[in-house]
Structure 1
Amino acid sequence: MATCDECGRHENLPYRCSRCGGTFCSEHRLPENHECPGLSSWNDPSGVFESSFDDSVSTKSGRASSLLGSLTGTGGPLGYFRGNMAYAFLALMWVTFALEWAVILGMQAGIFPRGTFSAVFTLSSSHPLFVWTWVTSVFSHSPVSFYHIVGNSIVLYFFGPLVERYIGSRKFAALFVVAGMAAGLAHIGSSFVLTPGIPTSVLGASGAVFAILGVLTVLNPSLRIYLYFLIPIPLWLFTLAFAAISVVFFLEPSTAASAGQGNVAHFAHLVGLVIGLAYGQRVNGKRNVPNQMSLGGSRRGGGGRF
């Protein structure tokens, strides 16, 4: 017995969508009945409306499209990433975390020169034109704070799929990377203005994660989540509390330091959240999102408590 990803109804003989890979009941098995993300890229793949008119014009682009489809389609080596970019990014974060430790150990052993870690993984005011760090810093996390990557992983695991299935995998990937880069660059830019001459650096997916949180807050502010898996609170209150804490800690660094948050890029959190709230306003109203996140929920319902 399986659960329909659209309505949550238990189904003895479920249908699996070949476009998005979801499981549905007989009522929602058709792509148009479950708002399948694959509808936007349908483009008549079976050639139902095929015409032989001037095939030479589109042969090259058709081959490229066919190759891409074979790689990312159902059964393709990259098929998992379609509809699962949140989990792909989650895995990439942990792979990057392992690589960070490999570089650290390599530096200690003299294999890599000093400064390799910073040059590869951190966005720093000392080398802001190391463009690759704009991206690598989004997926990197502090190697001395296991809570850093665990906290971001929890939010991405539970909230990321909800936003991805609402806006689509491509837009989700763009939102995550762009918001993460913008948040990091904003943090570096603020240091140039507020503390000129004092080098600063940033790494972590917090800006991107806060963008996801902002989008979901706009889409369904009353979404009930479970803080520490026990305390039920609405999502808007959770987001407001984090935003307020980030504002206070950004304006009062001494307060942040006394709370053990002195080395946290609070301004990056705020920038990511603002990006998410703005983007959420832009896409709001296209479809409904769940009212509660509960452990063991349907595929479209989120799948866990936070």
Structure 2
Amino acid sequence: MSKECDYCGFRDPMPFTCKFCGNPYCYNHRLPESHNCSGLALFKERIHDSGGLYNYKPDQMVKKHKKPVFKPLGNAISTIRSSYSLTILIIAIISFFLSMVIPGYFFYLALYPLDIVSRPWTLVTSIFLHAGTMHLLFNMMILFFFGPELERRIGGKRFLAVFFLSGIIAAIGYSLWSIFIVGSSVPAIGASGAILGIFACLAVIAPHIQVSLFFGPPVRITYVLILLVLIDLIFGLLFGLTDPIARSAHLSGVVAGVVMGKQIKKMGQYIDY
């Protein structure tokens, strides 16, 4: 079946489909380098983020009889380079235990809405604090299952941008809601806003992904996102000011994730598969 070349417009009876960007090309522009493939650049970025190598060197060979050497620092650095999602998860767990043994740790890193100007670092540090084991477990479970998936699709640097910007916007949204609507300065902690931003961004970029809820039949990730938003809205209206959960932070994180997801998709800065 003939198709128009996405680069020159020539209708080729036997078109080639680029494995990096998925677009059809004629014989002359079939190679990624011949049509300025945006997917190839993103693929290289992913390989770089994962610590992969393009150039083979003979002196990098490891003899079969040579025993492997355990290098804790080297292994840790390799893990950090290969998965930002896993690194964030590890930092959050370490921070949780530190908050239980270091006096003043929680107070110094938690977000207090009225002190947001004098303590701007808490916009980020509060993301790595959690109120209890279940709070930590729930957030890290979502990050573990959906963080690497988004990271593979958009690359490590964009993943970090989505995570931290969603978390910061969630913190600002909560602070504005607390000060101007609720009239309180209850501290906020947790990565929920950032993680819901990750989830929302993934739902925009890959809406066809199927998610199983509570061992039920799989449904599209977009439906799950809508359900989570409805839960926050309904419970926020039902419990109002007595609700202990920062619904405004959740919703702010979702909005941030959706906006960034749309921008990434518009610019074609992702890999679809």
Pair 1:183-2:170 in alignment: yes
Q: 1:269 aligns with which of 250, 259, 262?
A: 250
Q: Distance in 1 between matches of 2:42 and 2:258?
A: 26
Q: For residue 175 of structure 2, what is the amino acid of its counterpart?
A: I
* Match runs of 1:55-66 below 5 Å: none
Q: For residue 211 of structure 1, what is the amino acid of its counterpart?
A: G
Q: Distance in 1 between matches of 2:203 and 2:80?
A: 25
- Output the TM-score relative to the length of structure 2: 0.69
Once the two structures are TM-superposed, the CA of residue 45 in structure 1 deviates from its matched residue by 9.3
Cα pair 2:46 2:152 within 8 Å, conserved: no
Structure 1 residues 246 and 100, CA gap change in structure 2 (3 angstroms): same
Structure 1 residues 34 and 211, CA gap change in structure 2 (3 angstroms): closer
Once the two structures are TM-superposed, the CA of residue 125 in structure 1 deviates from its matched residue by 2.3
Once the two structures are TM-superposed, the CA of residue 32 in structure 1 deviates from its matched residue by 5.3
Cα pair 1:32 1:39 within 8 Å, conserved: no
The equivalent residue for 2:3 is: none
Q: 1:239 aligns with which of 214, 225, 244?
A: 225
Cα pair 1:177 1:208 within 8 Å, conserved: yes
Question: Which of the pair is proportionally richer in helix?
Answer: 2
Q: Distance in 1 between matches of 2:41 and 2:196?
A: 31
Pair 1:119-2:107 in alignment: yes
Cα pair 1:83 1:165 within 8 Å, conserved: no
- Output the TM-score relative to the length of structure 1: 0.62
Cα pair 1:188 1:200 within 8 Å, conserved: no
SS at match of 1:170: helix
Q: Distance in 1 between matches of 2:223 and 2:164?
A: 26
Displacement over 6 Å in runs of 4+ = 39-42
Q: 2:193 aligns with which of 181, 189, 207?
A: 207
Structure 1 residues 194 and 209, CA gap change in structure 2 (3 angstroms): same
The equivalent residue for 1:157 is: 144
The equivalent residue for 1:287 is: 271
Once the two structures are TM-superposed, the CA of residue 249 in structure 1 deviates from its matched residue by 2.5
Percent identical pairs in the alignment equals: 25
Q: 2:179 aligns with which of 192, 195, 206?
A: 192
Structure 1 residues 97 and 76, CA gap change in structure 2 (3 angstroms): closer
Once the two structures are TM-superposed, the CA of residue 241 in structure 1 deviates from its matched residue by 0.5
Q: Distance in 2 between matches of 1:201 and 1:96?
A: 17
Cα pair 2:106 2:129 within 8 Å, conserved: no
Q: For residue 127 of structure 2, what is the amino acid of its counterpart?
A: V
Once the two structures are TM-superposed, the CA of residue 117 in structure 1 deviates from its matched residue by 4.4
Structure 1 residues 283 and 118, CA gap change in structure 2 (3 angstroms): same
Once the two structures are TM-superposed, the CA of residue 34 in structure 1 deviates from its matched residue by 9.4
Once the two structures are TM-superposed, the CA of residue 242 in structure 1 deviates from its matched residue by 0.4
Q: Distance in 1 between matches of 2:41 and 2:170?
A: 37
Q: Distance in 1 between matches of 2:249 and 2:110?
A: 14
Q: Distance in 2 between matches of 1:159 and 1:127?
A: 32
Structure 1 residues 205 and 77, CA gap change in structure 2 (3 angstroms): closer
Once the two structures are TM-superposed, the CA of residue 126 in structure 1 deviates from its matched residue by 4.2
Q: 2:122 aligns with which of 120, 133, 136?
A: 133
Cα pair 1:119 1:130 within 8 Å, conserved: no
Gap regions ≥5 residues in structure 1: 1-5, 7-30, 47-74, 104-111, 290-306
Q: Distance in 2 between matches of 1:38 and 1:184?
A: 29
SS at match of 2:115: coil
Structure 1 residues 199 and 77, CA gap change in structure 2 (3 angstroms): closer
Q: CA deviation digits over 1:72-112, x for unaligned, max 9?
A: xxx67623222300000011111011011113xxxxxxxx4
The equivalent residue for 2:93 is: 94
The equivalent residue for 2:83 is: 84
Once the two structures are TM-superposed, the CA of residue 163 in structure 1 deviates from its matched residue by 0.8
Q: Distance in 2 between matches of 1:34 and 1:247?
A: 37
SS at match of 2:219: strand
Once the two structures are TM-superposed, the CA of residue 182 in structure 1 deviates from its matched residue by 1.6
SS at match of 2:119: coil
Pair 1:171-2:158 in alignment: yes
